[in-house]
Amino acid sequence: MHFGIYEMKLIRSLAVLLISAGLAAPAFAQDRKVPSSQAELRLSYAPIVQRVQPAVVNVYAAKIVQNHNPFLDDPIFRRFFGLQGGPQEQMQRSLGSGVMVDPSGLVVTNVHVIEGADQVKVSLADKREFEAEIILKDPRSDLAVLKLKDVHEKFPTLDFANSDELMVGDVVLAIGNPFGVGQTVTHGIISALARTQVGITDYQFFIQTDAAINPGNSGGALVDMTGRLAGINTAIYSRSGGSQGIGFAIPANMVRVVVASAKSGGKAVKRPWLGARLQAVTPEIAESLGLRSPTGALVASVVPNGPAARAGLKSSDLITAIDGQSIDDPNAFDYRFATHPLGGSSELDIQRAGKPLRVNVPLETAPDVGRNEIVLTSRSPFQGAKVANISPAVADELHLDADTEGVVVTEIADDSTAAGVGFQKGDIIVAVNNTKVAKTSDLEKAASSSSRLWRITLVRGGQQINVTLGG
């Protein structure tokens, strides 16, 4: 058989293609592997789940509210329908999750799960149910610690992971009680770390995950592949109310601080106080400082004789790292600083006038002398408000300037007169009926007067507001 020049070229081309295909085939086949044993067919997260599941609990909170029906004020309406007058009590229930962190029966959950509850119950994985008392609430981190009542046994717990060692892409499991359907396990990866613009708590430094988290998961566990607690699931970003693959967890290193405070018998978490106000670095500020990118925490002001002042920090210093960990913004600094134990010092890397410096800041609490926190009970627009003098500790808690004067609202009771009037936590009461309010006793005296007209001057968000009530 004879082939022409064209046919010979075609045959050579086909041969090259076949040889190339033959050489490539083994490499292509390596992308897919047939399981070679029963063990490979049974790869599973089950061993981790079986180990950690007993330490994850369901939390049920109940609150009694007064449901006032205005029609019940009408005697004819009550007689016609055979109803009793007065406000009717109604039980509001919420559900969430929690994690056993001490064998004696300590459970950590979210503050928003048990906020305002008159009764809290904890249901274990084995369906047993216990009443629990709230022994510590930390609204700044949205973490609360419960203790099971009347227990005489040791409970399974989860160990804390070092959340600073987590990496984007790590596989994690979320365990909780979504929608009250019962304990549920979902899996995903860590989508991002150090999310600081979520706006949920004071310490914004969240782990983001795509593991399905839904209502009811709050307070539940986010665990790593060693079965340790990586974080406490707290919130989701959702347009529908259900999981859309963006969930947030409080890092374990913050949880550890709150649990340690509860174990030591503290009613509040004591954290280091910097004694300085920080601000974010905008692109304009970065350009003026000659920075390549707008990162770091800029010192806006320093409290005289505070830890920052004694360490030598000055206004316009730029904090770039704390104990070797880089700082992207003030939220990142607040989290890093707050998770340090009291005592000793922290090493800050700063830039001053373009030159790098290193200072040591002592780790101590803010002075809380003269807080004099009271609840106003007399009949007035302030009835049901808890107020305090502005000590350095109060200023730190409420993000106020340390030199702020006046009396600040620290808490508002639900369904109180103060809540109905519209007072908010953080409002600074400056004057009542043209009388200056310098301390809580001044406000208590003013609220006790039998005035029918109330002229109130307050500061909210840096803006002065004048309000007239009654008349």
What residue ranges in 103-142 does DSSP mark as E strands? 106-110, 119-123, 129-138
Positive or negative: CA dihedral 352, 356, 357, 361: positive
Catalytic residue among 97, 123, 163, 218: 218
- B/e letters for 379-408, b = 16+ CB within 10 Å, e = fewer, are ebbbbbbbbbbbbbbbbbbbebebeeebbb
Say what angle helices 330-338 and 252-263 make with each other, to 10 degrees.
Answer: 40
142 is catalytic: yes
Left, alpha or beta for 266 (phi > 0: left; psi -120 to 50: alpha)? beta
> Distance between CA atoms of 156 and 124, rounded to whole angstroms?
10
**218 counts as catalytic:** yes
Could you give the CA distance from residue 62 to residue 139 in angstroms, rounded to a whole number? 19
Q: Which among 94, 97, 141, 142 is annotated as catalytic?
A: 142
Phi and psi at 289, nearest 5°, equal -90, -5
Specify whether the CB–CB gap between 289 and 318 falls below 8 A: yes
Q: What is the DSSP letter of 77?
A: H
* Known catalytic residue at 112: yes
Residue that has been written with the tokens 């969930």 in this structure = 247
Long-range contacts from 389-398, C-beta under 8 angstroms, 24+ separation: 389/439, 389/440, 390/428, 391/366, 391/367, 392/273, 392/275, 392/303, 392/306, 392/366, 392/367, 392/368, 393/273, 393/365, 393/366, 393/367, 393/368, 394/368, 395/366, 396/273, 396/366, 397/140, 398/425, 398/426
Q: Which of 94, 97, 112, 349 is catalytic?
A: 112
Contact 52, 221 (CB under 8 A): yes
Secondary structure of 372-390 in HEC code, one letter for each residue: CCEECCCCCCCCCEEEEEC
Catalytic sites, residue numbers: 112, 142, 218
